[in-house]
Structure 1
Amino acid sequence: MSDAFNEFDDRLRRIDKNRARMKQGYVTVVDRDGLIVTRPKRRRASMPWRGFVFLICGFLGFKALLMASMGFGNYIDRVQKLEQGGVVEIAGAYLMRPDSLSEYLALKLRPYLK
């Protein structure tokens, strides 16, 4: 009798857990056998990684485009002028400093801009 009660109690716990997850949204699908089943929606990742990667790629591309169009010497001079400003300008100068990847991309872009 105790085993039957434990199984029943476990089943009730699973049902309650499933209902709690369904309160946050659910989707209805048709199984392979034709039975319509309602399942809780999958949770999305808290950090939108794809958007974050696109943002970084876009920023590096923008920086490479600036380097290629201005020239490396002029670009470095402008970043150095930016370092003489306030806190926001210093932070911008830190982000806009030339790095190896953006320099490589600028060298590849340079022939297309002339």
Structure 2
Amino acid sequence: MTMADAQIRDFEKRVRQIDRRHNKLARGYVHLVERDGLLVPEEASFKSRGFPLRAILLALIGFVLFKAIIVSQVGLSSYASRLENLAEGGAVEQAGAWLMQIDPLTLAVAEFIAGLF
């Protein structure tokens, strides 16, 4: 192995490192200003885009709270009769009646809310 071969290998290694860094920065970067005023691109950190479990859980909690507030304000018998009327409608109304039906959690939260007022 000659010195030229070692230099070529070293050069190829540096080129691979530059390519790797370039590919990372191509996905997004921010400019950071160093103390001497030099702009240095840094890889932007992105959160992984996984399954939005927290958003779905908050939506479900909000929906149950919404139903509980309606039940506590309208009254259980009036709410049940309105659900029956809704269930007699078309497919969309029936789906709405199924979604808005009173479940044990909604009933418990509605009783708690009614006790507050």
Report the TM-score, using the length of structure 2 for normalisation: 0.68
Following superposition of structure 1 onto structure 2, how do residues 88-99 of structure 1 map, counting pairs within 5 Å? 88-99=92-103
Query: After the TM superposition, which parts of structure 1 deviate over 6 Å for at least 4 consecutive aligned residues?
Result: none
Contact 1:22–1:41 (Cα < 8 Å) also in 2: no
Return closer, same or farther for 1:83/1:46 CA change in 2, 3 Å cut-off: same
SS in 2 for 1:75: helix
Aligned to 2:4: none
Aligned to 1:23: 26
The separation in 2 between residues aligned to 1:87 and 1:21, in whole angstroms, is: 50
Q: Letter of the aligned partner of 1:81 in structure 2?
A: N
The separation in 2 between residues aligned to 1:42 and 1:21, in whole angstroms, is: 12
Aligned to 2:61: 57
Shift of 1:26: 2.3
Return closer, same or farther for 1:54/1:29 CA change in 2, 3 Å cut-off: farther
The separation in 2 between residues aligned to 1:28 and 1:52, in whole angstroms, is: 35
Aligned to 1:107: 111
The root-mean-square deviation of aligned C-alpha atoms, in Å, is 3.4
State the percentage of identical aligned residues.
30
Which deviations, in whole Å up to 9, do the C-alpha atoms of 1:26-75 show, x marking residues without a partner?
24679xxxxx6722432432443333222211111110001111111111
Aligned to 1:80: 84
Unaligned runs of 5+ in 2: 2-8, 34-39
Bigger Rg, structure 1 or 2: 2
